[in-house]
């Protein structure tokens, strides 16, 4: 490491459970006016202030829930108590919790979705602050001119909430480990994921922005660790499949190189089965099949079998080599067109 260089390692976290509690309302005041030359001063107790809300707010400045992981409890302050001379207590400041855009907030007890914070600045109150109590000035009547009581402040709310991050991407990349997802995203975008020739090189989702010649752009998400049994928690795919639920298109990459023993059609169907078992709606999304590692495809029989299978299912099919660039530009242009159509729909 060179002197003067600062390297920051950011952990990707997309699921957190936290406790939140809003502030109690301040007590109303019991007070009576006491002034010289005013022998019959009436009640002048002020109202209590409102307790602080707990508010979840989305921001583009964050892309992970890691800060919430290490701070699991959030409490807002209570409102100030009322005072004499009709002085109300101050409302407490709200407790603001910042989360990345794309975060879903759920009640941990019921699994009810409280909010889907899908744009910058979106927010939701997850625990309302208690209302301040009324001072005794409000309870004076013609028959009760000296009220010696006031309202207590209402207690705040408390609950456990779940923060679940779903990345906002136009295209989700699927495929077995080593299918070439990270290599493709590094070629078509500025993203630089870790790439190696062993399974589970990618441990977190990667996002890349793809810009085409007509100045349009779209976002691609590389979803790691999807293998057979992922819907049951095998591998890493179960953790990250939620990140393709928002995508417009699914790009299914299948390795057709002569280095892989398993039949590419069987590989393709295994991943599709995992999508159905995880979420049938996810499996119904528009899908494009891409045969990868065309430069080492051998005699082409594996490529031909996969292409024939996709044609029988009426699925768009491309064959590429990210290493040599063959077919990559054509694929990127096609994706840009499909994304644009999906956005207009």
Give me the CATH number covering residue 22.
Answer: 2.70.210.12
Question: Which residue, of 165, 192, 224, is where some domain finishes?
Answer: 165
Query: Does 92 map to a domain?
Result: yes
| Greatest mean pLDDT range, 156-165, 193-202, 258-267 | 156-165
Q: Who contacts 208 (Cβ-Cβ below 8 Å, separation ≥6)? A: 185, 186, 188, 189, 190, 191, 219, 220, 222
Mean pLDDT of 74-88: 95
Query: Does 302 map to a domain?
Result: yes
Q: What does the block give as tokens for 299? A: 């005699």
Query: Does 5 map to a domain?
Result: no
Q: Which residue has the higher pLDDT, 131 or 68?
A: 131
Q: What is the pLDDT of residue 273?
A: 86
The reply to whether 194 and 109 lie within a common domain is no
Query: Does 3 map to a domain?
Result: no
Among 215, 229, 205, which residue's Cα sits nearest to residue 65? 205
The reply to whether 136 and 219 lie within a common domain is no
The CATH number linked to 214 is 3.40.50.300
Q: Who contacts 317 (Cβ-Cβ below 8 Å, separation ≥6)? A: 288, 289, 290, 291, 306, 307, 310, 311
Q: What is the pLDDT of residue 289?
A: 97
| Number of structural domains in the chain | 2
To the nearest 10°, the Cα dihedral for 172, 306, 197, 330? Answer: -60
Q: Who contacts 56 (Cβ-Cβ below 8 Å, separation ≥6)? A: 97, 99, 103, 105, 115, 117, 123, 124, 126, 161, 163
Can you say whether residue 243 is alpha, beta or left, with left for phi > 0 and alpha for psi between -120 and 50 degrees?
Answer: alpha
As a whole number, the mean pLDDT across the chain is: 84
Q: Which residue has the higher pLDDT, 196 or 72?
A: 72
The reply to whether 148 and 123 lie within a common domain is yes
Range of 19's domain? Answer: 15-165
Percent of the chain with pLDDT over 70: 85
The reply to whether 262 and 300 lie within a common domain is yes
Query: Does 7 map to a domain?
Result: no
Q: Which residue has the higher pLDDT, 135 or 4?
A: 135
Q: How confident is the model at residue 38 (pLDDT cuts 50, 70, 90)?
A: low
Q: Which residue has the higher pLDDT, 177 or 87?
A: 87
The reply to whether 109 and 221 lie within a common domain is no
The reply to whether 338 and 211 lie within a common domain is yes
Q: Report the distance separating Cα 266 and Cα 111, nearest Å.
A: 36
Q: Give exposure, 263-302, as e/b (b: 16+ Cβ within 10 Å).
A: ebeebbebbbebbeebbeebbebebbbbbbbbeebeeeeb
Yes or no: say if 38 and 188 are a contact pair by the CB < 8 Å rule. Answer: no
Query: Does 132 map to a domain?
Result: yes
Q: Report the distance separating Cα 207 and Cα 122, nearest Å.
A: 22
The reply to whether 189 and 272 lie within a common domain is yes
Helix/strand/coil for 1: coil
Q: Who contacts 87 (Cβ-Cβ below 8 Å, separation ≥6)? A: 29, 46
pLDDT at 244 over 70: yes
């Amino acid at each position: 490491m060179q002197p003067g260089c600062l390297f920051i390692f950011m952990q990707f976290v997309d699921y957190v459970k936290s406790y939140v509690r809003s502030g109690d309302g301040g007590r109303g005041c019991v007070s009576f006016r006491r002034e010289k030359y005013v022998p019959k001063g009436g009640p002048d107790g002020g109202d209590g202030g409102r307790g602080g809300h707990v508010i979840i707010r989305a921001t583009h400045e964050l892309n992970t829930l890691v800060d919430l992981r290490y701070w699991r409890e959030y409490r807002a302050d209570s409102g100030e108590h009322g005072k004499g001379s009709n002085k109300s207590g101050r409302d407490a400041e709200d407790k603001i919790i910042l989360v990345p855009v794309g975060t879903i907030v759920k009640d941990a007890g019921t699994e009810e979705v409280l909010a889907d914070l899908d744009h910058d600045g979106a927010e939701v109150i997850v625990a309302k602050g208690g209302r301040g109590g009324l001072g005794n000035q409000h309870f004076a009547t013609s028959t009760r001119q000296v009220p010696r009581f006031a309202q207590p402040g209402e207690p705040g709310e408390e609950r456990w909430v779940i923060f679940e991050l779903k990345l906002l991407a136009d295209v989700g990349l699927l495929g077995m480990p080593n299918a070439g997802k990270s290599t493709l995203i590094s070629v078509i975008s500025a993203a630089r994921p870790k790439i190696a020739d062993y399974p589970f090189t990618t441990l977190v989702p990667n996002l890349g922005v793809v810009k085409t010649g007509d100045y349009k752009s779209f976002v691609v998400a590389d979803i790691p660790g999807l293998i057979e049994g992922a819907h049951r928690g095998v591998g890493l795919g179960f953790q990250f499949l939620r990140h393709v639920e928002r995508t417009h298109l699914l790009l299914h990459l299948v390795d057709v190189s002569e280095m892989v023993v398993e039949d590419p059609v069987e590989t393709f169907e295994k991943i599709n089965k995992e999508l159905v078992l995880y979420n049938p709606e996810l499996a119904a999304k528009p899908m494009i099949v891409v045969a990868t590692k065309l430069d080492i495809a051998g005699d082409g029989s594996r490529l031909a079998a996969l292409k024939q299978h996709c044609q029988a299912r009426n699925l768009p099919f491309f064959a590429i080599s990210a290493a040599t660039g063959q077919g990559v530009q054509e694929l990127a242009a096609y994706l840009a067109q499909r994304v644009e159509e999906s956005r207009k729909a």
